[in-house]
Amino acid sequence: MPVIVVIGAQWGDEGKGKVVDLLAEEADVVTRFSGGDNAGHTVVNRYGKFKLHLVPSGIFSPRATAIIGNGAVINPGVLLDEIGQLNQRGVDTSRLFISDRAHLVMPYHVLLDGLEEESRGGKAIGTTRKGIGPAFADKIARLGIRMSDLLDKEVLRERLHFIIGGKNAILTKVYEVSPLSEDDIYNQYCRYSEQLSPYIRETTIMLEEALKRKELVLLEGAQGPLLDPDFGTYPYATSSSPLAGGGCLGAGLGPTQINQVLGVFKAYCTRVGSGPMPTELKDEIGHLIRERAHEYGTTTGRPRRCGWFDAVAARFSTRINGFTRAAITRLDTLDTLPRLKICVGYKLDGESIDYFPASATALDRCQPVYEELAGWQVPTSDIPQFDQLPPLARQYITRLEELVACPVSLISVGMRREQTIWKMAIL
Ligand code: GDP
Ligand code: IMO
Ligand code: MG
């Protein structure tokens, strides 16, 4: 059985939660490998509707072990709330484990995320203000605190004592706000330590054992490649890698162990937060898509910016992730539109280009070049098979498949598991 990396292919919120929940029925391990509670993965299944921020979307599977990998940053309070809510709604979390190498989101990270955003004024990134950027910055600066530190109260005290002075100096001298109490944080995180210690493990061994048993392993990404700190619309990006390659780093296995890379694309584009988005529709159609599809952020409730499918960005995403299969979600959202557009190139300062520029300011100047297709104007939410889709919907999918340069495996036509059309097997 293979290892499948399932990642978003655009700016996040493509429907990774739905796809992972669906595939997890057959999986033995599901590891979330990046991001933190900036992510919001919606799952609709027999237990109800859930918005998961940290717990892998495979938690509902009757047999899968769910792991939060070393590549994620974890706000313990948020995670404990999420586990509590799942338990209250009858979901078993006894097979949930956390990598002892995962970093903690600390109260100063959350505070600094907000203060840094405010100080950016008109150039704000539009972060989720969950402390994700500051937590990953500390990880790289070797100022982080990890789950393994949480398990040893003396180490926790020592690390916190070493770090908090610098953080309080920034809070008081740069931002002129009150300092945080080392004792309060220590006591709070000691309580978290007791509550989380049963979940903390050396999770790479768990993965290795699953691979030896030839079990099915899913690596669940967060965000999307266009928010990647290297390849995304930097600086309007997140702070950990949502790429397929990030799956190796954030779960603890090598590239030779990955068998499939499934890119989840929305049938159009959305983005939350600031930064360039060439196909954004600021008109009635954008509004219509947002309201029809309820395109509001799962984590922050902010309205998502909506636009036509951007095939230049999509092709770039395939190139940097090596997708072997694509999933197209939310096809049903386009059901009522008489005409559809797909961006097949950009005009940059009068010149035609077919690549995704590195510079966010250049991308901001890019004008989309569109190809127009007729809409199918037939409801698709209850259609079970590809050949039963209206011909114009099939044509739209086939065109996306060509442009994305990757075979489409599944098409999602609604939020529920059964609202999925299989076009080509993954396994
Ligand atoms: P994720 O972050 O990639 O997991 O995506 P989100 O959960 O943030 O946003 C995707 C939204 O689309 C959720 O509300 C899903 O329930 C919903 N969704 C997923 N697939 C479909 C689909 O095919 N049709 C419709 N109408 N909704 C979908
Ligand atoms: P999922 O996993 C969509 C965006 C934020 C902001 C930028 C940086 O649900 O697809 P951050 O808080 O990470 O420092 O914010 O990244 N962002 C997301 N957008 N989906 C997400 O996750 C996102 N996680 C972060 O809106 O523009
Ligand atoms: Mg989301």
Ligand 2 atom with minimal separation from the 274 CA = 27
Regarding the beta carbon of 100 and ligand 1, being less than 6 Å apart is answered: no
Contact criterion met (CB below 8 Å) for 131 and 138? no
Q: Is 203 helix (H, G, I), strand (E, B) or coil?
A: helix
Pocket residue to mutate for ligand 2, from 272, 274, 317, most atoms within 8 A of Cβ: 272
DSSP 358: S
pLDDT surpasses 80 at 1: no
Q: How far is the CA of 126 from the centre of ligand 2 (A)?
A: 9
For residue range 358-392, what is the model confidence (pLDDT) as tens digits? Answer: 999 999 999 999 999 999 999 999 999 999 999 99
For residue range 261-272, what is the model confidence (pLDDT) as tens digits? Answer: 999 999 999 999
Pocket residue to mutate for ligand 2, from 227, 240, 295, most atoms within 8 A of Cβ: 227
Contact criterion met (CB below 8 Å) for 68 and 55? yes
Q: Is 394 helix (H, G, I), strand (E, B) or coil?
A: helix
Angle formed at CA 112 by CA 53 and CA 116, multiple of 5 degrees: 105
- How confident is residue 427, by pLDDT bands cut at 50, 70 and 90? confident
Amino acid at 103: H
Q: Is 345 helix (H, G, I), strand (E, B) or coil?
A: strand
Alpha carbons 244 and 228: distance in angstroms, whole number: 11
For residue range 238-250, what is the model confidence (pLDDT) as tens digits? Answer: 999 999 999 999 9
Q: Is 253 helix (H, G, I), strand (E, B) or coil?
A: coil
Alpha carbons 99 and 113: distance in angstroms, whole number: 24
- How confident is residue 148, by pLDDT bands cut at 50, 70 and 90? very high
Regarding the beta carbon of 272 and ligand 2, being less than 6 Å apart is answered: yes
Regarding the beta carbon of 223 and ligand 2, being less than 6 Å apart is answered: yes
Alpha carbons 239 and 304: distance in angstroms, whole number: 20
Tokens describing residue 416: 């529920």
Residue 299: what pLDDT?
Answer: 87
Residue 298: what pLDDT?
Answer: 85
The kind and range of the H/E element at 344 are strand 339-348
Q: Name the residues annotated as catalytic.
A: 13, 41
For residue range 84-109, what is the model confidence (pLDDT) as tens digits? Answer: 999 999 999 999 999 999 999 999 99
Alpha carbons 146 and 100: distance in angstroms, whole number: 7
- How confident is residue 114, by pLDDT bands cut at 50, 70 and 90? very high
By CB neighbour count within 10 A (0-12 exposed, 13-18 middle, 19+ buried), where does 141 fall? exposed
Which protein residue's CA is at the shortest distance from atom 6 of ligand 1? Answer: 13
By CB neighbour count within 10 A (0-12 exposed, 13-18 middle, 19+ buried), where does 1 fall? middle
Alpha carbons 366 and 268: distance in angstroms, whole number: 18
Residue 160: what pLDDT?
Answer: 98
